[in-house]
Amino acid sequence: MKTNRSRCPLVNTLEIVGDKWSLLVIRDLFLRKKTFTDFMKSPEKIASNILSSRLALLSKWELLEAVKLPKDQKSKIYYLTEKGVDMFPVIFEMMSWSKRNLEIEFGTKSVKIFKDADGLTSIEFIKKFQSSYVKFRDNLITV
């Protein structure tokens, strides 16, 4: 799948994740949220129509997939594909930039991520975090 708007790799990436909601959905998936209801409970208060739109967009570009719950065929579990997992370095580096350059207090989940990364290089932490998510995802979709 490709966009035709530009031949610039940055523009093409921004076509997919250039709004804040798409990156926050990906962030939430990394934070183990998996259902529509889970996403709706995020503190950023995404509107349900925007959430539906972003889930469809990320699915179209194969960054996430969904499966129906075995015991409840109305509900879906969302999870990141390998392409989605490959977005974590971007998200982590954006978070790290924020930590270095913005003088604000971060939420408990962000503080935990920074604490878990302490003492590791960015590359080491990113690989560790991605591996942890993949194990979670694989257990999730094989149940």
* Residues 28, 53: Cα–Cα separation, whole Å: 16
Q: What percent of the chain has pLDDT over 70?
A: 97
Query: In 3-state terms, the chain is what percent helix, strand and coil (to 5)?
Result: 60, 10, 30
Q: Is 1 within the bounds of a domain? A: no
How high is the mean pLDDT of the chain?
92
pLDDT digits (tens, 9 = 90+) for 60-107: 999 999 998 777 778 899 999 999 999 999 999 999 999 999 989 999
Residue 55 token pair: 């889930």
* 1 vs 33: which has the higher pLDDT: 33
Q: For the chain, what is the domain count?
A: 1
The one-letter amino acid at 62: E
- Residue ranges making up the domain that contains 116: 9-142
Asked if residue 81 belongs to a domain, the reply is yes
**Amino acid letter, residue 14:** L
The answer to whether the predicted template modeling score (pTM) of the entire model surpasses 0.85 is yes
Token pair for residue 10? Answer: 């940055």
How many CB atoms within 10 Å of residue 85?
21
Does some domain include residue 72?
yes
Helices H, strands E: what count in the chain?
A: 8, 2
Return the CATH number at 101: 1.10.10.10
